[in-house]
Structure 1
Amino acid sequence: MFIHTQRSLFDIPNDVCYLNAAYMTPLTKKQTEIGGSGMAKSARPWNYSEQDFFTDVEGVRGLAAQILTVSSHDIAIVPSASYGTATAGLNMPVKQGQVILMVEDQFPSNVYEWTKLAEEAGAELAFVKTPDNHDWTTAIVEAIQEYGEKIAFAALANVHWASGAKLDLGIISPALKKIGAGLVLDLTQSVGAMPINLAEIDPDFAVCASYKWMMGPYGLGVLYVAPRHQHGKPIEQNWINRQGSENFANLVNYQDQYQEGARRFDFGERSNFILMPVYKEGLRQLLEWGISNISFTLGEINRRIETIALNNGLRSIDSDYRSPHMMGIELGGDAERYAAKLRAENIFVSIRGSMLRVAPHLWVNDHDMERFEKVMTSL
């Protein structure tokens, strides 16, 4: 179902055309109000109960689990994508001579951890080169066949952060399982904008920062942990992820046992009384719209943007190989010139390499599209 513009829910001036959700999604007006209420309440901490340390956290956990199509027990609360990959790095076995498979120009937070891990284990990093047609799925499957059982695991996304090209995990995951290799995912550029079923894909770990397509604040995210890893090693030893932590009077009776499921991997001070309610509202809004509806709507908006690009002699990634919600338009050496002109007109996009990365969301309206077309035609 197509969702008509939701601009009234956001505080976006009429003269701003924001096509950069892949950079950061603005909070809704309601989220801003909720954040303000959290600030006000934090000025009077005597009003917080012990239960307040858990209620919104479990709300976020449950809503995120719905979006990812898994159990809430499989979700840990993390502060960043890098925290999630570091958690995976502590729990993914790698031996000397094995290979960690990635794609070229992958986002750094899903590279640095594996660089360190490979150095420590005497393993090798193998980067799949960017295919000319951006058909990453075929290229990755061919790399899996090439390296075979040498692969310890693949560290991937399902949407390339720079180009919007998609990776079909429904094909890639079985290919990895066939050779006994694992899978770690960074889903920051996809969750909330396109449907995903992690129960079917069955990765070992999958992290998602909140501040892009999950419509949350900066500084929070979620980590999916497959049940087979839920007795693993967390990064930190904090009090709130231990059994019985709901009873503050009993905290001096130290516990060896953790909370159920993936909660052992939660980061300390997860109960952020300002950010967590804001995050919960963003997830609630996504589910109210419906992820499939969001994906369909953004796909229609991007088709309109693609037509504008084609009419002006520009080329985007073929629709067969890109995600519905974001896409890269090839500009070659003219990327910065286009970006400067668009910025001068209050039209906001991102430059990633030689590409103009366009990432609209439901606040986009016809006026935005007319302004974007006018500027692109004038260049």
Structure 2
Amino acid sequence: SLGAVPFDVQRSPVDFLAASVHKWLFGAYGLSCLYVNRAWWEDLRLEPLVEDEHSRAHMASADDEVAFDGGLPGYPTAFRSGARRLDGGGRPNPVLLPMAEDGLRLVLHWGPARTAAALAPLTARIGRRCSEELGLWVPPLHGPHFLGVGPGRADGCRSPEEVAAWAQAAAAYLKQHRV
């Protein structure tokens, strides 16, 4: 999850950037945002993961009332032009878009830099306590507003057996404490 962090795609060498709106962008489940650098828009090496009619040229879009133009012989094989060929299949849920818009307005109103600055010390404190008091491994690099933890060892290396045992113990702890 990208979350509410200051990030400028124009100043960073980013080809793709995805953000699920339900995590730190205050939207609902079922919607994500994808940034595709303009250099990739027409690159034929990049094909959609979902190869249905929604990403094909000359097919009705999700905004059209009909799903398939019966006047065309067979299915088109060419993809839509630009980044639209990477759109997901199915029709977008119109209820989600105003929710995402309001969530993004909140993020912009509060300011990603301000949000990150407020949450970074709290996240660092949680990381220190996880490491010092619980003996968990905390990655040295993480976002200012989230981090992952795992079984001990500062180098982060763990055997599959250690990971499985830790996962079982963590699941039992969470279940016992009704988390």
Q: What is the rounded CA distance, in whole Å, between the counterparts of 1:329 and 1:204 in structure 2?
A: 28
Cα 1:299–1:339 shift into 2, 3 Å: farther
Secondary structure of the 1:208 match is strand
- Determine whether 1:275 maps to 2:96: yes
- Determine whether 1:286 maps to 2:97: no
Cα 1:309–1:272 shift into 2, 3 Å: closer
Alignment map for 1:54-73 (pairs within 5 Å): none
Q: Deviation at 1:273?
A: 1.5
Residue of structure 2 in register with 1:157 after alignment: none
Secondary structure of the 2:11 match is helix
Q: Deviation at 1:318?
A: 6.0
Secondary structure of the 1:231 match is coil
Alignment map for 1:30-49 (pairs within 5 Å): none
Gaps of 5+ in 1: 1-188, 348-379
- Determine whether 1:198 maps to 2:47: no
CA RMSD after TM alignment: 3.7
- Determine whether 1:231 maps to 2:51: no
Residue of structure 2 in register with 1:337 after alignment: 169
Q: Deviation at 1:311?
A: 4.7
Whether the aligned pair in 2 keeps the contact of 1:314 and 1:329 (CA below 8 Å) is no
Alignment map for 1:32-181 (pairs within 5 Å): none
Give CA-to-partner distance per residue, 1:29-71, whole Å, 9 cap, x none.
xxxxxxxxxxxxxxxxxxxxxxxxxxxxxxxxxxxxxxxxxxx
Q: What is the rounded CA distance, in whole Å, between the counterparts of 1:305 and 1:329 in structure 2?
A: 10
- Alignment TM-score, normalising by the size of structure 1: 0.32
Q: What is the rounded CA distance, in whole Å, between the counterparts of 2:92 and 2:151 in structure 1?
A: 44
Cα 1:264–1:327 shift into 2, 3 Å: closer
Q: What is the rounded CA distance, in whole Å, between the counterparts of 1:277 and 1:287 in structure 2?
A: 15
Whether the aligned pair in 1 keeps the contact of 2:131 and 2:138 (CA below 8 Å) is no
- The number of aligned residues is 150
Q: Deviation at 1:301?
A: 1.5
Q: Deviation at 1:315?
A: 4.6
Q: What is the rounded CA distance, in whole Å, between the counterparts of 1:270 and 1:246 in structure 2?
A: 10
- Determine whether 1:309 maps to 2:118: no
Q: What is the rounded CA distance, in whole Å, between the counterparts of 2:86 and 2:109 in structure 1?
A: 28
The amino acid that maps onto 1:301 is L
Gaps of 5+ in 2: 73-77, 153-164
Report the structure, 1 or 2, having the larger helix content: 1
Secondary structure of the 1:341 match is helix
Whether the aligned pair in 2 keeps the contact of 1:240 and 1:268 (CA below 8 Å) is no
Q: Which runs of 4+ in 1 moved over 6 A?
A: 245-248, 251-254
Report the structure, 1 or 2, having the larger strand content: 1
Secondary structure of the 2:3 match is coil
Instruction: Give the % identical residues.
Output: 28
Whether the aligned pair in 1 keeps the contact of 2:3 and 2:19 (CA below 8 Å) is no
The amino acid that maps onto 1:282 is G
The amino acid that maps onto 2:9 is L
- Determine whether 1:220 maps to 2:31: yes
The amino acid that maps onto 1:327 is L
Q: What is the rounded CA distance, in whole Å, between the counterparts of 2:170 and 2:64 in structure 1?
A: 54
- Determine whether 1:322 maps to 2:146: no
Relative contact order, higher structure (CA 8 A, sep 6+): 1
Whether the aligned pair in 2 keeps the contact of 1:207 and 1:222 (CA below 8 Å) is yes
Q: What is the rounded CA distance, in whole Å, between the counterparts of 1:193 and 1:207 in structure 2?
A: 13
Whether the aligned pair in 2 keeps the contact of 1:202 and 1:226 (CA below 8 Å) is no
Secondary structure of the 2:109 match is helix
- Alignment TM-score, normalising by the size of structure 2: 0.61
